[in-house]
Structure 1
């Protein structure tokens, strides 16, 4: 049972919130957004994947892992997540906090570790909590009223506090252990990585990528990373692109931005497919 529908859990931790209407409004917003668009897990997973990939910046830095980032870059991930979250959900920036949802101010906190740092201005306010685990290709997305009782007393130099062990029990999880689109090169062995990336032509590299990961969602960002060219989308199309190379092997690249392709992918069981996604399948499926 989702904690959103768990009445006993909700009443235990959230019914005493002074302005319960703002919390309910936020919950309804995410429910409505999911109903109107697509699977909420896929939406938030894409936000996190995009944020991590943009900071890792594989096309220009040849890095694959969060472990290779500088400390300041890791800090910036939180800012990037906030920006993409606000843009994806079509929200305005708050006057005091990160977001304004249906008139209520909300803060957004992301971590690639095991805890979040809560600023003093977010005390007694609702926080959207996001946690990404690139190694396990999983993420969590929840809400927490950052009351004094859920925070550790110690503060860092900026006056921020972390969530206590007991406080984590009060997180209202909207998505728990969701599927984070995987970091392909992080989980790839060295031989396969070399096979995909070593050819000089972008179309050949993309063909190698799609051939190696048939039936898996490939993001536009990953296409850019592998093509390593400004006109990277040209390398995936026909007229000498990866599609032509793979067509000779009876493999077909489907694009989520095509109505026909999207319908095909949904019939094959793919969820949350959009214009940022590509999938390679056998032509006879």
Structure 2
């Protein structure tokens, strides 16, 4: 049993990992994994902690993350484990709970272990050699997978980055009443999108959010563009990153819009309503 500083392979892998911005890369990979599981553009779901999401689906975020991490960092799949870094086999493990399930083939190997705290919108990763003596004793689950003892992780694991915040889906900022109105059955897309931008002023709305609100409907982006004049009538300057002129104006307000991003800037006449969190029914 070796201390991390005496583990030559671990130090080689750390050197390779040091070439990447791990916190940002894992943030992107986790967000993509969550979006994949929620499938908002078809289901209208946007919160993994919602009762509409089965616990098994939440757990599947970890399985998807393995592939998203490889995509983000351009790490190629390599046997006998998941990837190979600096010529050393490395397994990728993640959990939305408190521990990881380490399979028998990964025992005593190096693992990148990622923990996602959904309630806190945060994540963190460690590099650890999963010695069998550091795993919980017993046969493990039916596949022989065993968890890592917390003391062993704290003593022998190498933190790869500090706890890092995950971007919050703007839809989770809606009150219960506002969410009901934005997703009201039987209402047209334009009406519901106008409510969305009214309830979330000065919040960057990504394309995926609009697709979620308009799940199952045709051409939601065209519908969003069609409400710019209606928004102006209600005292809202609606800016879309698709147009250079809008991006320039948004920049002046402190917002850096991507091609698929939107932001609603309320005029002074509606600032009071915004600060009060008022519901606008129309």
Alignment TM class, shorter chain as reference = 0.7 to 0.9
**2:107 paired with 1:123:** yes
How many positions carry a matched residue from both structures?
Answer: 260
CA RMSD between the two structures? 3.4
Q: TM-score, normalised by structure 1?
A: 0.74
Superposition map of 1:1-285 within 5 A: 13-30=3-20, 34=21, 40-63=22-45, 64-66=47-49, 67-154=51-138, 155-169=140-154, 170-186=156-172, 188-198=174-184, 200-228=187-215, 229-237=217-225, 240-241=226-227, 243-248=228-233, 249-255=235-241, 261=247, 268=254, 277-281=261-265
Q: TM-score, normalised by structure 2?
A: 0.75
How far is the alpha carbon of 1:159 from its aligned partner?
A: 0.9
Q: Is the 8 A contact 1:255 1:277 kept in 2?
A: yes
CA distance in 2: counterparts of 1:121 and 1:43, whole angstroms: 26
- Structure having the higher Rg: 2
CA distance in 1: counterparts of 2:95 and 2:143, whole angstroms: 17
Q: Is the 8 A contact 2:238 2:262 kept in 1?
A: no
Gaps of 5+ in 2: 269-282
CA distance in 2: counterparts of 1:259 and 1:120, whole angstroms: 57
CA distance in 2: counterparts of 1:193 and 1:101, whole angstroms: 45
Q: Deviations over 1:121-144 (max 9, x none)?
A: 222322222222222222223322
Q: 1:24 and 1:192, CA in 2 relative to 1: closer, same or farther beyond 3 A?
A: same
Give 3-state SS (helix, strand or coil) of 2:120's partner: coil
Give 3-state SS (helix, strand or coil) of 1:166's partner: helix
CA distance in 1: counterparts of 2:175 and 2:169, whole angstroms: 12
CA distance in 2: counterparts of 1:187 and 1:250, whole angstroms: 19
Q: Deviations over 1:63-120 (max 9, x none)?
A: 4444543344334222211122211222211222222345443222121111111112
Q: Is the 8 A contact 1:134 1:182 kept in 2?
A: no
How far is the alpha carbon of 1:244 from its aligned partner?
A: 4.0
Partner of 2:279: none
Q: Is the 8 A contact 2:127 2:159 kept in 1?
A: yes
